[in-house]
Structure 1
Amino acid sequence: METAPHTTRPGAVPELVLGRYRLGRRLGSGGMGTVHVAHDEQLDRAVAVKRIAVGDPAIAKRATREGKAAARVQHPGIVALYEAGREGDTVYLVSELVRGHTLRELLDEGAFSDRDVLLTGVVLCDALAHAHARGIVHRDVKPGNILVPARPGGDVHGEGIAKLTDFGVAWMAGDDALTRTGDLVGTLAYMAPEQAEGGEISPATDLYALALVLYEALCGVNPVRGMNPARPAHAAQTVRRIGRRMPALGRLRRDLPLPLCAAIDRGVRPHPEDRGTVEELRDALRDALDDVGDEPGTIAAPATERLERAAWGGRHDPWEDDDPSLVAAVRPRPSQRVVAGLGAGVLLAAAVQWLGPAPFAPPLAVAAVTAVLVALLPRLGWLAAVTGLLLWLTDAGAAGTATYVVLAALPVALLARRAGAWWSLPAFAPGLGLGALALAYPTIAGQAPRPAQRFVLGLLGCWWLLLAETLSGERLLFGATGLLDPAVARAPRDLGTGTVLADVAWPVLSSGLLLVGVLWGLAAAVLPLLVRGRVAAVDLVAATVWAAALATGTQALGGVVHGFGATAGAPEPRGLVAGAVLAAVLAVAVRAVSAPSRSGPETRSLP
């Protein structure tokens, strides 16, 4: 097997320790020692060796405790200890070599999705439960002590998902009182209140730290950490916050499932008896796996930087639960709001230009006002714009057209009520249909952050497409006007509200064509799971298979719905092949652009 490069001079023999391990390059150093890549000459394998100078009796005792603690635990979620030994004044801890990154690095790079965070949390809950059952409390759970293995291709979802490391300050059952109470060990920003006070240590201590790690990973903010580590008052600021009530995770991430937020909020409560157990937290994480997004890049900046921005340059402390600046730190980025505003502006300007009689205002002015409203208040701005459009159409005597607008807008507000920035997205479906490219729409819907949102947006895009076909008389995909009575199809804008509902909406709904919308929703929901932006060749194959299945399913469903094929005379959806090709190309291109750039996998082990 390939061994790690050595840092010795050319021609020099690498140092041999414990009679079998050739030390190579240094991976890193911590408060107690340095970690090297090494080669086990007896078993011909790469390992990690932690080298600890033990001239100080306290350090020697801690090194011994770390070795004993690591030896007691054998779990896929914990870095395995192979051997511990001493030569002179140096203790060596030999462990498995984990090739990958620390969770701290991946969070700072925006390389983790919400689903990645939850999967990691499930593994770590199991790992801690294993350690606690053997009388061990880690006492220093933090992102820097969590390793995420990587496959050779650089995928962060390597075997094992995550591994806990560094048992240097672990407490073990049977330790004397000084190792259990009175000694301040660990990392302040993740330290449970009882640990910071030198009080009694228990499994709830680790639960607090892990829940805080998950809290930070999901919202980008660790409320305990001082805003600027470079400032002298940083540590004092952190100490003051330990034990204070944290802002509810559900207020910072309103898109997350409420039971998940409640479990994490419970885990960071100040009093140990109120936190529950790691098993309960694990169950909550596992139950939420299907309800969170799988798109990397959710957390795009270090938590300290985001807190600093939220506090307007650090002029005040965004700790309090009622402080809007902390909530602002995790709202959609300005660029997302601008895109949402522009989309809504273009949509409303087009509606003013084409749906009613003479426009009541220049379309560009309508677009500008709408864009500003939606960018500032995505949902309220969108609803206000639609309400204004309905009032104008009704006043102009276009009740039938207003009914079309209600049929399009109401399902969006009801089914995607938490995705205000995405409410204009279904308009892309008829827009693409004008260019015979409607089948590319599920790729666009597949960019929403959560599976449920992607499904709903895919379904609604098909619904908007069918409504647009009946209103315009154009064949954008299937030519849904073939479902209507010829008299209705000839003058759809002259109809009354009742006629639109009975002779347009009902025939479309009862035809079964919305099954295509269900297919599009499913395709959008699974797209980020297939095309991940990490290995280009794999993405290309996955996108091609996905697009082919989408095209085949769309054609099959369009042909078998009750009475449609015979009535519409359209055996093949318009632009089927071109739309499928564009769908595949867009899927690969968008993922390649949005995926965080990372160098190849680092080699890590015990820090």
Structure 2
Amino acid sequence: MARKIGSRYTAHQILGRGSAGTVWLGEGPDGPVAIKLLREDLASDQELVGRFVQERTALLGLEHPHVVSVRDLVVDGDDVALVMDLVRGTDLRTRLERERRLAPEAAVAIVADVADGLAAAHAAGVVHRDVKPENVLLDMQGPLGPGGAHPALLTDFGVAKLIDAPKRTRATKIIGTPDYLAPEIVEGLPARAAVDIYALATVLYELLAGFTPFGGGHPGAVLRRHVTETVVPLPGIPDELWQLIVQCLAKAPASRLRASELATRLRELLPALAGLPALEVDEPDDDPVEEPPEEPPAQAAPAAGAPARRRGAVSLVPGTKPDSNRDTHTSMRVPAPDELAGGARGTARAPRTPGTPRPGSARHRTAARRRRITLSVAGLALVAAVGAGAWWATSADDTPPDAPHSAPAVP
């Protein structure tokens, strides 16, 4: 059912839901648009609405080929909405889930596009604060770039800052997505442009490896790793690319590159990455506190000939799992200094050898049970052998010295 948003826009259908609100396919005076309607509890917060209006000029002035532009900000009764360009294609999270990891050339081309967009935003004084694959859109109607990559555009500018109002979050809270949070945010320092570089380097690592460098397990453990652990090297990528990732994942914000520098360096590396295959590494093991439940049976594959789900347009806040720790604007408690210091200092979780079962998985438990059964059988055999040897020795000791010994029969 269509609904009016202000006096100029009409929302026709829902494209997706995020933690901050719902994104609609809409129509405006100049054609199709994406309308991000904030949640009712956010829209009813007068302080947030005031910040929303204050940010209007900065957000409307942010124009770049690799940024999803904000066309209008609407405050109308109970509705608070951002009207944005409509991008037809898919989001980077969807592609990553489909392909698991990308070839280095395509991954670097996508991240270079995002870095260009961030450079324009930072020059305008805007910090994104929530860079992650869900907020990177791939324009399927644009020309293919290096490695067959579609043009990448960064979306959701300003939303994290709007949500992170003093009234809504105290100094003991963190707003963000755990896997991509820079160490200075975990330690309660202000979010400046360098936090976007850290998050983007995390995205690049994830595109190459299929997992984030410090993710996995409880969000508190993830936050601690960002502060206390160093990133594990990825085998199979050029050293110059790896050193670039390490520099942008530096714990000290001043040690990271600026967005414009990162974009330039990445594009310089593209010729050397042409033709390199995707890496062959598996996600590192977590240290589970308790054994996880049995994995549910695999779902049946779609019937042959069943129509594939088509995505006519991309939501500006992709994803339908509001409770996921990857979701935007997750509110977390800031760890105390002693909690951060209590973590294991050194290297973060090492990737597993391809094909090795993950601890706690059904494959891992089956293999462990087999090892226990094998050891038990071997132990019983050893006990039996020792018992037989002891019986033989005892029997031999009981035989009189002059008793004849048996000999094998000769045919």
TM-score normalised per structure 1: 0.44
1:128 Cα shift? 1.0
Corresponding residue for residue 327 of structure 1: 351
Query: 1:131 offset after TM fit, Å?
Result: 0.9
Q: State the Cα distance separating 1:97 from its structure 2 match.
A: 0.6
Unaligned segments of structure 2, at least 5 residues? 292-343, 357-411
Report how many residues are paired: 299
Give 1 or 2: higher helix fraction.
1
Aligned match of 1:276: 257
| 8 Å CA contact retained: 2:109, 2:145 | no
Give the Cα separation in 2 of the matches to 1:288 and 1:184: 35
2:230 matched to which residue of 1?
246
- Superposed displacement of residue 59, structure 1: 3.9
Cα shift at 1:241 = 1.4
Give a deviation string over 1:387-437, Cα, whole Å, max 9, x none: xxxxxxxxxxxxxxxxxxxxxxxxxxxxxxxxxxxxxxxxxxxxxxxxxxx
Distance in 2, Cα, partners of 1:289 & 1:241 = 30
Distance 1:88 1:159, change over 3 A: farther
For residues 58-97 of structure 1, what are the structure 2 equivalents within 5 Å? 58-61=47-50, 63-64=52-53, 67-97=56-86
How far apart, in 2, do the equivalents of 1:81 and 1:169 lie? 11
SS in 2 for 1:226: coil
Could you tell me whether the CA contact under 8 Å between 1:147 and 1:162 is conserved in 2?
A: yes
The equivalent position to 2:6 in structure 1, one of 15, 18, 21, is: 18
**Equivalent pair of 2:106/2:148 in contact (CA under 8 Å):** no
Contact 2:248 2:256 (8 Å CA) reproduced: yes
Mapped contact 1:194–1:201 kept (Cα < 8 A): yes
**Counterpart check, 1:47 vs 2:37:** no
Q: Which has the higher contact order (CA 8 A, sep 6+)?
A: 2
Shift of 1:262: 0.4
Question: How do residues 346-365 of structure 1 correspond to structure 2 at under 5 angstroms?
Answer: none
Contact 2:280/2:354 (8 A) holds in 1 = no
Say if 1:77 and 1:126, in contact at 8 Å, map to a contact too.
yes
Give the alignment partner of residue 201 of structure 2, picking from 208, 211, 215.
211
Q: 1:159 to 1:94 in 2, by over 3 A?
A: farther
Question: What residue is the counterpart of 2:25 in the other structure?
Answer: 37
For the Cα contact (< 8 Å) 1:215–1:264, is it kept in 2? yes
- What residue number does 2:216 align with? 226
**What does residue 111 of structure 2 align with?**
121
- 1:78 deviation in Å? 0.6
Q: After superposition, where does 1:291-306 map in structure 2 within 5 Å? A: 291-294=272-275, 298=278, 306=283
Gaps of 5+ in 1: 1-7, 9-13, 228-233, 335-607
Give the aligned partner of residue 219 of structure 2.
235
Q: Note the alpha carbon deviations across 1:141-192, whole angstroms, 9 max, x for none.
A: 11111111113999998997111111244559xx999999946222121111
Aligned pair partner of 2:129 in 128, 139, 158: 139
Deviation at 1:195, TM superposition (A): 1.6
State the distance in 2 between where 1:176 and 1:34 align.
20
User: 1:226, 1:22 → 2: CA distance?
Assistant: 41
Tell me: CA distance 1:322–1:177, structure 2 relative to 1, closer, same or farther (3 Å): closer
Q: Separation in 1 of the partners of 2:224 and 2:71?
A: 40
2:194, 2:253 within 8 Å by CA — same for their partners in 1?
yes
Q: What is the CA deviation profile of residues 333-356 of structure 1, one whole-angstrom value per residue up to 9, with x for unaligned ones?
A: 68xxxxxxxxxxxxxxxxxxxxxx
Distance 1:260 1:281 in 2: 11
Cα pair distance change 1:105/1:321, threshold 3 Å:
farther
What CA deviation, in whole Å up to 9, does each residue of 1:179-223 have, x standing for no partner?
999462221211111122221332111111111111111112213
The 5 A counterparts of 1:405-444 are none
Root-mean-square deviation over aligned CA pairs: 3.7
Give aligned-pair identity as a percent. 32
Residue type of the partner of 2:350? L
Question: Helix, strand or coil for the counterpart of 2:227?
Answer: coil
1:320-370 deviations in Å (ceiling 9; x for gaps): 7667x7233xx5568xxxxxxxxxxxxxxxxxxxxxxxxxxxxxxxxxxxx
Distance 1:135 1:181 in 2: 24
Number of the residue aligned with 1:557: none
Task: Quickly say closer, same or farther: Cα 1:212–1:61, change in 2 above 3 A.
Answer: farther
Please state whether the residue corresponding to 1:163 is helix, strand or coil. strand
Give the CA deviation at 1:66. Answer: 5.8
Q: 1:277 to 1:55 in 2, by over 3 A?
A: same
Measure the CA separation in 2 of the matches of 1:157 and 1:101.
Answer: 17
Amino acid aligned to 1:252: L
Distance in 2 (alpha carbons) for counterparts of 1:72 and 1:33: 23
